[in-house]
C-alpha cells in the first residue's frame, strides 16, 4: 500500500533499515563488503540518485545479520529531481560476487529549506 511506504523528502537526511534475505534467511554481509545504494525509478530503468557507499557502522545496521541501514545525506537527497514511487537499489559486492535487492519508497519534494 502506498501509504505504508517510507517517504524520502528531498533535502533531508534519509535512513532506512533494510533486511537482506535469500531464501527467507538473513543474507550475511561481510563488514569488508562494498555496499552501495541509490534511488531508481519504479521500473528500474532510470537512476534518480548517485550510487552512495553504505557503512557497516551506521546506526541501525547489523551486516552480519543481513541488516543494512541505507543512509543518504541531505545534500545527496537534494540532488534528486524526480518525485513519486521509486525503489532503493542496494547492491552488495563481496567475495567476488554481486547481489542486489530493492525496497520501495515514495520521493516527495521538500518545501522548507
Domain boundaries, the chain: 2-108
Residue 40: CB atoms within 10 A of its CB come to 18
Q: How confident is the model at residue 113 (pLDDT cuts 50, 70, 90)?
A: confident
Q: Are 46 and 29 in contact (CB under 8 A)?
A: no
The pLDDT tens digits of the residues spanning 33-89 come to 999 999 999 999 999 999 999 999 999 999 999 999 999 999 999 999 999 999 999
Task: Find where cell 552512495 sits.
Answer: 52
Average pLDDT for 89-99: 97
pTM of the predicted protein model: 0.93
CATH topology of domain 2-108: Immunoglobulin-like (2.60.40)
Amino acid at each position: 500500500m502506498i501509504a505504508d511506504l517510507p517517504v524520502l523528502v528531498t533535502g533531508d537526511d534519509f535512513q532506512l533499515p533494510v533486511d537482506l534475505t535469500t531464501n527467507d534467511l538473513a543474507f550475511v554481509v561481510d563488514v569488508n563488503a562494498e555496499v552501495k545504494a541509490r534511488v531508481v525509478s519504479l521500473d528500474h530503468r532510470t537512476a534518480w540518485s548517485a550510487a552512495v557507499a553504505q557503512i557497516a557502522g551506521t546506526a541501525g545496521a547489523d551486516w552480519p545479520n543481513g541488516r543494512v541501514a541505507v543512509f543518504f545525506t541531505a545534500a545527496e537527497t537534494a540532488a534528486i529531481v524526480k518525485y513519486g514511487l521509486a525503489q532503493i537499489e542496494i547492491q552488495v559486492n563481496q567475495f567476488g560476487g554481486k547481489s542486489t535487492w530493492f525496497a520501495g519508497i515514495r520521493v516527495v519534494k521538500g518545501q522548507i529549506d
